[in-house]
Structure 1
Amino acid sequence: MSEPFSVRIKVRHYELDTLGHLNHAVYHSYAEVARLELMEKAGALDGGLREVNLAAVLLESHISFRRELRAGDSVDVTCEGKFAQGKTFHLDSNILKPDGTLAAEITCRLGLMDLERRKLVDDPRGRLERAGVRVELLEPAGG
């Protein structure tokens, strides 16, 4: 089993709330950074999807906060895909302190939208593969 994709981010002072810990909305931004970097690495942001008039769209995001983060902390933000039947798939993230302590779990449900019809398409995994996206990077465990 492969390790999920991960990117390191440093918590900045301006991202804090009045309690002195990372603002709740910023956790979602960190997951977005990891999702976009993984999608870019897999080839989903250039060429292939645009050529077939598709784009990934975020449909749902849920977060569970586990530990506070403060200014100066560094975190590793993972991103790992899970495909199943139907029109949607997941790109989920964990936000971890360098010692492995889980700070937050974020689940995100996405779909592939036909940009002309403005509708989700079936078989997002297959559509991504046919567009030249390296799906094995999105879903390293193979489902």
Structure 2
Amino acid sequence: MTQREPFRVEIKVRHYELDTLGHLNHAVYHSYGEVARIEAMDRAGSAKLREENVSPVLLESHIVFRREIRAGETVYVACEAKFGSGKTFQMTNNIYKADGTLSAEISSTLGLMDLELRKLVEDPRGRFERAGVDLSVLGAE
């Protein structure tokens, strides 16, 4: 049995994203995670949620740095979602160097916000499914 590959995007590190030590600035790692989350959501069909005036919202993010990333490198940012009970769900982003070395692990808590009421909706997984979002793109089982 083979395990499904997670959704991932390729990003080339730009010089202006570096800090004074010559490696990727800590805040940019979070931006790379956001790029992967947005692209994964778009690919999965989350635009259907916007028609219902609902949108994913980031509530918390935590990063563990493993290996430095430097200018000119290409990295791959993987993205996977995990749903449980309640109003929130988890997403993880692993950032890999081109040679497969794990550079960072980002764990995030998200919810689906009703954009009119400005409150989280119940059962985000069910809401995704009812809107026809392809959760397999997000790695959800």
TM-score by length of 2: 0.95
Deviation at 1:51, TM superposition (A): 2.1
Aligned twin of 2:57: 57
1:1-143 equivalences in 2 (<5 Å): 1-44=3-46, 46=47, 48-140=48-140, 142=141
Deviation at 1:112, TM superposition (A): 0.5
Distance 1:33 1:96 in 2: 14
Q: Deviations over 1:6-38 (max 9, x none)?
A: 111111111000011100000001111111110
Deviation at 1:2, TM superposition (A): 0.8
Deviation at 1:40, TM superposition (A): 0.6
Deviation at 1:106, TM superposition (A): 0.2
Aligned-residue RMSD, C-alpha: 0.9
Contact kept? 2:7, 2:139, Cα under 8 Å: no
Question: Percent same amino acid among aligned pairs?
Answer: 68
Distance 1:116 1:20 in 2: 43
Aligned residue type for 1:125: R
| Partner-residue secondary structure (3-state), 1:138 | coil
Distance 1:3 1:50 in 2: 27
Matched residue count: 139
Comparing 130-139 with 63-72, greater Cα deviation is found at 130-139
Unmatched 5+ stretches in structure 2? none
Distance 1:108 1:132 in 2: 23
Aligned residue type for 1:5: F
Unmatched 5+ stretches in structure 1? none
| Partner-residue secondary structure (3-state), 1:35 | helix
Q: Deviations over 1:39-89 (max 9, x none)?
A: 010000x2x212222111000000000110110111110000110111001
